[in-house]
């Protein structure tokens, strides 16, 4: 019973949504979607957020209580969470308030710093590991250099044709490989969806 009911809910829900996509009947498009689903989705959204906050708080509280490795960092979560929430609830989220100040002066520079480190790792990896060891690696290397040059004004000064060559690399070889990967992923998704809808795939229920 513990597994049968959730399984039935998933199968039934899955088939209803499948029908909603393909059947233009009023019962599905209006009654099910607008009258039933939308109000429920709106009502559930805040609970989803609440659940997330509770789950995260419990996880960090547990880490502090158990003195798990790096438990001290969990205090930063509570400090940041409480300070940002209070700033938003008390002062509002508009420009000029503490919330926006925290965002502009703490979150924005910290997040951007993390992302910008990528440039340094890329440069280091390019220097240390990007070698023309085989024909395939050489093709990759030449393509990378052309695309990198064509991206920047200095590269275009070297040759006006570089952007066209770069565009061809992106439009033809890149596109062919990307599309191949996407078709594979798409077919895999359809197969997995069918397995879930038909009750063959049940690992999401937990247990064996």
Partner 1 sequence: MEEKLTLFERIQKLDRRWVYIVVALAIIIPLMLPYNSDNVTSPPTENVYQMIDSFAGREDRAILMSFYHDASTMSELYPMQVAIIRHCFERNVKVFFLSFLPQGAPIIDMAINTVKEEYPHIKSGTDYCNFGYIPASLIMATVIGMGDNIATAVPTDAEGRKVENLPIMKGITNYTEMNLVIEFSGSVAGGYWLAYARPKFGTNIAVGVTAVMAADEYPYLQTGQFIGMLAGLKGAAEYEKLVDVFAAYREPGQPLIPYVDASGKKHVPGRPFSEDLLEKSDIQDLIKITTQTEAKFTSAEFESFVTTQSLTDQAKIRQAKTESDGKILIDVSKLKEDDFESGTWSALNRMTRNTPYKFKVARIGMNAQSVAHMMIIAFILIGNIGYFIQRARTGKK
Please identify, using beta-carbon distances, which residue of 71 and 130 lies nearer to partner 1. 130
Told to check if 86 binds partner 1 by CB under 8 A, we report: no
Nearest distance from residue 101's CB to partner 1, in Å?
A: 10
Contact 165, 150 (CB under 8 A): yes
- Tokens at residue 71, please? 């438990």
Taking CB under 8 A as the criterion, the residue among 26, 154, 203, 208 binding partner 1 is: 154
Told to check if 155 binds partner 1 by CB under 8 A, we report: yes
State the number of binding residues for partner 1 (CB under 8 A): 59
Taking CB under 8 A as the criterion, the residue among 132, 185, 194, 198 binding partner 1 is: 132
Please identify, using beta-carbon distances, which residue of 59 and 158 lies nearer to partner 1. 158
Q: Which of residues 16-75 bind partner 1 (CB under 8 A)?
A: 33-34, 37-38, 41-42, 44-46, 48-49
Nearest distance from residue 59's CB to partner 1, in Å?
A: 19
Told to check if 161 binds partner 1 by CB under 8 A, we report: no
Taking CB under 8 A as the criterion, the residue among 55, 85, 107, 159 binding partner 1 is: 107
Which segment (5-13, 64-72, 100-108, 200-208) binds partner 1 by CB under 8 A? 100-108
Taking CB under 8 A as the criterion, the residue among 58, 86, 182, 194 binding partner 1 is: 182
User: How would you write the chain as a 3-class SS string?
Assistant: CCCHHHHHHHHHHHHHHHHHHHCCCHHHHHHHHHHHHHHHHHHHHHHHHHHHHHHHHHHHHHHHHHCCCCCCHHHHHHHHHHHHHHHHHHHCCCCCCHHHHHHHHHHHHHHHHHHHHHHHHHHHHHHHHCCCCCHHHHHHHHHHHHHHHHHCHHHHHHCCCHHHHHHHHHHHHHHHHHHHHHHHHHHHHHHHHHHHHCCCCCHHHCCC
């Amino acid at each position: 019973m513990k597994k049968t009911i959730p399984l039935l809910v998933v199968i039934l829900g899955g088939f209803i949504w499948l029908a909603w996509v393909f059947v233009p009947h009023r019962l599905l498009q209006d009654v099910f979607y607008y009258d039933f689903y939308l109000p429920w989705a709106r009502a559930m959204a805040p609970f989803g957020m609440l659940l997330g906050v509770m789950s995260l708080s419990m996880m960090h509280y547990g880490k502090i209580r158990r003195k798990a490795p790096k438990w001290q960092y969990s205090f930063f979560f509570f400090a940041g969470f409480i300070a940002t929430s209070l700033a938003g609830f008390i002062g509002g989220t508009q420009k000029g308030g503490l919330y926006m100040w925290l965002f502009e002066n703490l979150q924005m520079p910290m997040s951007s710093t993390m992302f910008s480190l990528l440039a340094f790792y890329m440069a280091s990896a390019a220097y240390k590991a990007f070698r023309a060891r085989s024909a395939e690696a050489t093709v990759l290397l030449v393509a990378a250099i052309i695309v990198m040059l064509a991206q920047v004004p200095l590269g275009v000064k070297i040759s006006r044709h570089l952007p066209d060559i770069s565009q061809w690399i992106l439009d033809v070889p890149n596109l062919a490989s990307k599309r191949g990967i996407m078709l594979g992923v798409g077919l895999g998704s359809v197969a997995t969806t069918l397995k879930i809808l038909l009750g063959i795939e049940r690992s999401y229920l937990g247990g064996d």
